[in-house]
Structure 1
């Protein structure tokens, strides 16, 4: 019985790891220093961002003292010129400011307090699309196969990597697996396998 529970525990942990592999990341801007006029110079935020990978769904956290700083998203032109006459959205003044990245591409943030941006309190990041937002791979024309159907196997509902000969006797076609489907299918397979092991013990 103890052996059975041990196997179940391993399966549960593995499934959790697989399903959590695409979890979003929270980035504390400039780490412990927070959103400040950088003492290391204007390159402090550039150097910090260069060590990070930003994905759609991630969150930026700006920690600062209220009434001493704020956060505004601006265009690249405004970022370069350190002007806040036209911001993208409202100026955020209550710390901590949490900004969820919803679109890929370049994003620019500055502090609008007098000369703070000119002194280096500005952040530029490049956001990549998350795997979940990537378009699904193209599917080829369905083919007919002999033998057991996909629903009869332990990985029912999983997309096969290759399909059998077409009804017209043509060559086999390859269907690239979708990464999200692979994770889901692996999870289902592990759950089914653990149930099978429990029945056998």
Structure 2
């Protein structure tokens, strides 16, 4: 009897709980990947997590995007292919952030990297809460929150299921 209750609760939780959602970020937002953007400021606006996707949009003959090592990022030097982890040169490149690590991206066209076409991001395994720099909006009338992967009414189901599991064992 307990086995079937346990199995039912696990199946119910799997059906009702939404998996984490990946975000898609266009590098540079509306300005895209070009030499007129402060990518340090751009990259600090977001919390990048595992599975997110960076989209590099640029004129193919004018720019490129390379993932490089930290040393190549600091020196803006990838001569002889040293420090290059991945090359993106299509003008519409999508890069999945598939590892929890620090990523470094540069444009290797002469003068572009030192001119500001580079940024580094930390990719984490969980979504962090970003504290707004301006005054927060007043709270909405509806209650919306997340707890242990459960959102809104799913929270009630998680709590009930957890309580039942706790009583079973």
From 38, 46, 70, give the equivalent of 1:76.
Answer: 70
Distance 1:66 1:31 in 2: 18
**Residues 35 and 115 of structure 2 are in contact (CA less than 8 Å); yes or no, is this contact kept in structure 1?**
yes
From 117, 120, 126, give the equivalent of 1:121.
Answer: 117
Residue 97 in structure 1 maps to residue 93 in structure 2 = yes
Structure 2 partner of 1:33: 31
Q: Which protein has greater RCO, CA pairs closer than 8 Å, 6+ apart?
A: 2
Residue 163 in structure 1 maps to residue 158 in structure 2 = no
May I ask how many residue pairs the two structures share in their alignment? 122
TM-score (norm 2): 0.63
**Residues 72 and 87 of structure 1 are in contact (CA less than 8 Å); yes or no, is this contact kept in structure 2?**
no
Distance 1:80 1:111 in 2: 13
Structure 2 partner of 1:19: 18
Q: Unpaired segments of 5 or more residues in structure 1?
A: 1-14, 132-153, 167-201
Query: Bigger shift: 83-92 or 55-64?
Result: 83-92
The 5 Å alignment of 1:180-199 reads none
CA radius of gyration, larger in: 1
- Cα RMSD (Å): 2.7
Q: Unpaired segments of 5 or more residues in structure 2?
A: 1-14, 128-156
Structure 1 partner of 2:53: 59
Query: 1:124–1:161: structure 2 CA closer, same or farther, 3 Å change rule?
Result: farther
**Moved runs in structure 1, 4+ residues, more than 4 A?**
158-162
